[in-house]
Amino acid sequence: MKEWTKTLDLDPLRAQALIAGRCVLVTGAGGSIGGELCRQIAPWGPRRLVVLDHSENGALSTHQALCHRHPEVESVIAIGSVRDRVRMEHLLRRHRPELIIHAAAHKHLPLMEEAPEEAVKNNVGGTLVMADLAGEIGCEHFVFISTDKAVNPSCVMGRTKRLGERMVSAMSQRHPGTRYLSVRFGNVLGSAGSVVPLFRQQIALGGPVQVTHPEVTRYFMTIPEAAGLVLAACTMARGGEIFVLDMGEPIPIVRLAEQLIRLSGLQPYRDIGIVFTGLRPGEKLHEELYTHDCPLKDTDHPRIKALWDSPADGEALLRAAAELCRLAQQGRVEKMQRRLKDLCTLQPAAHRTAGETALL
């Protein structure tokens, strides 16, 4: 068995086979995870690295960092929305990437509860566009970035990510020449919108630090770990898997808040208060990494597990997802919400009722 380091270093032979001399395209490349993915991909010598984002400033920042650190790599900025099939098809046919990592998404849980149709347009519609085009152009690997909030989802963002996982697995049936896989993350320390920068800002302002509930826990990983998992999973993929990082035990958020206060040279509850604001709509006390009906299986990496959860009728699921996006475009939000929830809670085909089958 290959010896792996605890920092998820890549097997050089596998990494070279995956990346060296090839075109790699990263969506959401101007964000925290997408940018780190680009930085970890560049040393392996891709023929071209396409930095795709709808934010010109984010894409430019990643591109400039790549040009500075790896001038030998051709870095190309591509501005556009993953929702725009015409623009995405133009880019993919122009660059012909062999590896696509789809990190672009709306991820902010409370904001997506307020604008669920935008979550569906971007996280479902954008994933449909990118995954389908990947198969059409003959891309070798397509990677969907998911989240632990996709497990038994209680929020709009989590449901769109769960449906995204199922759609990506379904694409393996439509385009068997492409290896489709998903990777589930916990919370990423230090990423844009994560709790750590928010707590630091609250501490700098003199407090109080706001925690939703005294018992709430979350799984955490660092940005380099998250990017390393994606690339390590790519090298092991056979197609259709959902890969999950072993992130250890979940961390109580109140303990994290206390530690950050102490690291600032202050004492919690004396110098900086901690207040509990209550769980927000769609939030859970505790997240999960998998469900017991889809148990994790070992891979040849000691910190990466895998599961398979392919829909029996992939084309029916993809048609239902496309209809969901049409409901979002039409502003039929209540019906869209019901359909989204239904599509995330369907049982495996062997246990599905006639009514559930009719949903597809």
What CATH number has the domain bearing residue 144?
3.40.50.720
Residue 85 lies in a domain: yes
Q: Is residue 114 in some structural domain?
A: yes
> Is the residue at 254 inside a domain?
no
Strands 141-147 and 99-102: parallel
Residues 6+ apart with CB under 8 A from 336: 116, 117, 120, 324, 327, 328
Please indicate whether residue 107 is annotated as part of the active site: no
Label the pairing between strands 209-211 and 274-276: parallel
Q: Which residue range is the domain that position 144 belongs to?
A: 15-187+220-247+290-345
Q: Which of 121, 149, 161, 305 is catalytic?
A: 149
Q: Is residue 214 part of a domain?
A: no
3-state secondary structure 282-301: CCCCCCCCCCCCCCCEECCC
| Predicted local distance difference test score (pLDDT) of residue 9 | 61
For residue 352, being part of any structural domain is answered with no
Amino acid 6: pLDDT:
38
Question: What are the tens digits of pLDDT across the range 304-358?
Answer: 889 887 777 899 999 999 999 999 999 999 999 999 999 987 654 444 444 444 4
Q: Give how far Cα 144 sits from Cα of 240, 255, 273, 338, Å.
A: 11, 31, 39, 24
Q: What tokens does 168 get?
A: 């990506």
Neighbours of 315 (CB within 10 A): 12
39 domain-assigned: yes
Given a cut of 70, the residues of the chain with pLDDT beneath it are: 1-9, 190-193, 292-293, 346-360
pLDDT on residue 252: 93
* Tally of structural domains, the chain: 1
CA atoms of 114 and 135, how far apart (whole Å): 33
The model's pTM: 0.90
Q: What are phi and psi of 252, to 5 degrees?
A: -65, 130
Whether residue 257 is contained in a domain is answered as no
